[in-house]
């Protein structure tokens, strides 16, 4: 449970640093980073019970995204 608290704290710090990014960073990069952070935050907040569970769900979502990009989506 302590690990999930630290994960939430880390995600909060990442969100703050994304907001502080300079305007020289391309907008597409920022949007993609935001999507990833939102996805992780949603999993941590609602679904994950343990850190191992969080890791598995992130890997599964990452595989799904890669399959969509490659055109192998079911």
Task: Extract the tokens encoding 38.
Answer: 């939102």
Alpha carbon distance 44, 25 (integer Å): 27
Q: How far is CA 8 from CA 19, 21, 43, 67, 74, in A?
A: 17, 20, 10, 28, 32
Per-residue pLDDT, 42: 72
For the segment 17-27, what is each residue's pLDDT rounded down to a tens digit?
Answer: 776 777 776 76
Per-residue pLDDT, 66: 67
Q: Within the chain, which residues score under 50 in pLDDT?
A: 74
Residue among 62, 42, 48 at smallest CA distance from 4: 48
Per-residue pLDDT, 9: 77
Q: What is the pTM of this model?
A: 0.40
């Amino acid at each position: 449970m302590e690990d999930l608290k630290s994960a939430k704290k880390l995600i909060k710090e990442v969100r703050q640093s994304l907001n502080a990014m300079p305007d020289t960073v391309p907008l597409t990069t920022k949007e993609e980073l935001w999507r990833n952070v939102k996805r992780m935050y949603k999993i941590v907040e609602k679904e994950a019970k343990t850190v191992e569970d969080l890791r598995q769900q992130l890997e599964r979502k990452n595989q799904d995204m890669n399959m969509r990009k490659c055109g192998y989506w079911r």
